Amino acid sequence: MNVLMLNPPFHPRYSRSQRSPAVIKSGVIYYPIWLAYATGVLEQDGFNVRLIDAPAAGYDTSWVLSFAGEFRPRLVVIETSTPSIHNDVAVAEALKSRVPGVFVLLVGPHVSALPEETLRLSPAVDAVARREYDYTARDVARLLDGGGDLAGIPGLSYRNEDGEVVHNADRPPIEDLDALPFVSQVYKRHLRVENYFYSITRYPVVTILAGRGCPYRCIYCLWPQTLTGHKYRKRSPADVAGEFEFIARAFPQVKEVFIEDDTLTADQEYVQALAYELVRRGNRLPFSANSRPDVSYETLRLLKQAGLRLLCVGFESGDQRVLKALRKGTTIEQFYEFRAAARRAGVLIHGCFMAGSPGETRESLDQTLALAMRLRPDTAQFFPLMVYPGTEAYRWAQCHGYLTTEDFSEWLTPDGLHRSVVSHSGLSAEELVAWCDYARRAFYLRPRYVLAKAWEVITHPAEARRMFKAAGVFVKYLFHPSLPKDGGRAKTPGHTGESGELDGGGDRGMTALVER
């Protein structure tokens, strides 16, 4: 039986699979990692599967429909996201017309959070898989191939013969992650690694998971609240190291591995064991990962020996009150201790900072930019708080009337860029986006930073290709606002919006930091 796994067309280079889907200013586009794992499970079960990543490959809907008409799948599994949900349902409707009798299963965080609402969008949607869907998709394929009843498939929501929406019992999270195929093997069969780019990693990169779930309770984080849960389930160090060896053999062009766990360092005993195993096997592939800013120097040192190049770290705010409201469970004092330990270990840091969190004020925004300047991460990102159905942050914004719209297509600009949909505490959604634009310029256009990166290109040529590729896309956004207001320049809080000079108040502190 033929199965089509589809990351459907939307905006060009739309990064649907990441936690905050959008067209990314630095050119980032994620692997369809969840679809790829499910593809591997279906292949293990003997199905004839094709994985199509339309945004990465540049395929439009006409191409997809033509391919589907020739391939004649019995099952189509479509990955969705909040901003693209109406587009994705329209693609499902077009596929239904092109391949009569095809069963359409929608998957992803959005439909997991809103299964009933999704099913009511269109009769073309036959079912929705909630949370981790590797085995749910397999079970649907088995049923279509051999018969059975949808009522027996855990994790599935669907319409019965009377048109009523039925929600089957939840499917337990996958405990034996070693039983899953290497996702990199799926990439090898179906995708072109050169189509994917992470601005903080060397290019080309391959992305894998060492585990699923996250024990922390940050209110905005999408995957643990909608897909994977809060129990951190891990592959064995031997299995992860074995995949590193496969990647080195199968992809000689690949320069780095990114471990996409929400928090790889959540279990430092585990991550030390992984480091030992990579060293024992003589790993030569650099890797990067997501982390919290609370990792010991000893762990960082061992990871560096194993090949760790960079950690992507969510600092988020320079105001301790905001961190508490986000349930980060970290302190600003820890940030500085962690940054010092990372420098000592020789590990690069990509810092993530956020605007618009609960308790945010203009003063706390000033404190966040000041923190970014003082921590001096090697690279940084500044984003407005993005709230998605299924997260506590979304419920907070919805319950308090802070959402500026509940039209999911408004989560993005017409070009597919992030757009804030939260206004509160005297900070409009437009001001939050404008502040992120301002903070980005302030961070990256400091003479000290520019000179440091120029020196890095000279002394570390391996970093040059990554930086130039990211800069080629990023620079055009750096000098232009994300959301022009009234046809002109977006105003930054405390910004004139006309001359480009800063006025008084809190921006005096910003000016001093930029000049440093």
Place of tokens 């062009």: 253
Host domain of residue 40: 2-164
The reply to whether 178 falls in a domain is: no
Q: What is the pLDDT of residue 25?
A: 83
144 with 96, same domain? Answer: yes
Closest by alpha carbon to 385, among 374, 396, 370? Answer: 396
160 with 206, same domain? Answer: no
The reply to whether 222 falls in a domain is: yes
Last residue of a domain, one of 111, 136, 164: 164
Closest by alpha carbon to 484, among 392, 422, 414, 383? Answer: 414
301 with 241, same domain? Answer: yes
Q: What is the pLDDT of residue 446?
A: 85
Last residue of a domain, one of 140, 164, 188: 164
Phi, psi of 308 (to 5 degrees): -60, 130
The reply to whether 177 falls in a domain is: no
When divided into structural domains, the chain yields a total of 2
The reply to whether 452 falls in a domain is: yes
302 with 217, same domain? Answer: yes
363 with 508, same domain? Answer: yes
151 with 208, same domain? Answer: no
CA dist list (Å): 215 to 258, 380, 385: 20, 25, 21
Contact between residue 157 and residue 127 where contact means Cβ atoms under 8 Å apart = yes
236 with 156, same domain? Answer: no
Q: For residue 71, what is the domain's CATH number?
A: 3.40.50.280
* DSSP summary character for residue 307: T
63 with 145, same domain? Answer: yes
The reply to whether 233 falls in a domain is: yes
Q: What is the pLDDT of residue 513?
A: 32
For residue 344, how many C-alpha atoms fall within 13 Å in the half-sphere facing its CB?
A: 14
Last residue of a domain, one of 137, 164, 191: 164
Q: Per-residue pLDDT for the chain (516 aa), expressed as one digit of tens each?
A: 999 999 999 999 999 999 999 999 888 999 999 999 999 999 999 999 999 999 999 999 999 999 999 999 999 999 999 999 999 999 999 999 999 999 999 999 999 999 999 999 999 999 999 999 999 999 999 999 999 999 999 999 999 999 999 999 999 999 999 999 999 999 999 999 999 999 899 999 999 999 999 999 999 999 999 999 999 999 999 999 999 999 999 999 999 999 999 999 999 999 999 999 999 999 999 999 999 999 999 999 999 999 999 999 999 999 999 999 999 999 999 999 999 999 999 999 999 999 999 999 999 999 999 999 999 999 999 999 999 999 999 999 999 999 999 999 999 999 999 999 999 989 999 999 999 999 999 999 887 766 665 656 656 666 555 555 545 555 555 556 666 554 333 333 333 233 222 222 333 333 333 323
Residue 510: count of CB within 10 angstroms of its CB: 22
The reply to whether 184 falls in a domain is: no
Contact between residue 219 and residue 326 where contact means Cβ atoms under 8 Å apart = yes
Q: For residue 273, what is the domain's CATH number?
A: 3.80.30.20
265 with 159, same domain? Answer: no
123 with 230, same domain? Answer: no
Q: What is the pLDDT of residue 467?
A: 53
> Token pair for residue 512?
């001093």
256 with 318, same domain? Answer: yes
11 with 90, same domain? Answer: yes
Instruction: Report d(CA 127, CA 130) in Å as an integer.
Output: 10
Closest by alpha carbon to 400, among 366, 425, 378? Answer: 425
Contact between residue 31 and residue 101 where contact means Cβ atoms under 8 Å apart = no
Instruction: Report d(CA 332, CA 322) in Å as an integer.
Output: 11
Q: What is the pLDDT of residue 502?
A: 25
Question: In 460-506, which residue ranges form alpha helices assigned H by DSSP?
Answer: 461-478
Residue 379 burial (C-beta neighbours within 10 Å; 0-12, 13-18, 19+): buried
Contact between residue 233 and residue 341 where contact means Cβ atoms under 8 Å apart = no
> Token pair for residue 139?
């079970």
Q: Kindly report the length of the chain.
A: 516
> Token pair for residue 101?
């009798």
> Token pair for residue 421?
């949909």
Q: Which amino acid is at 330?
A: T
The reply to whether 176 falls in a domain is: no
The reply to whether 299 falls in a domain is: yes
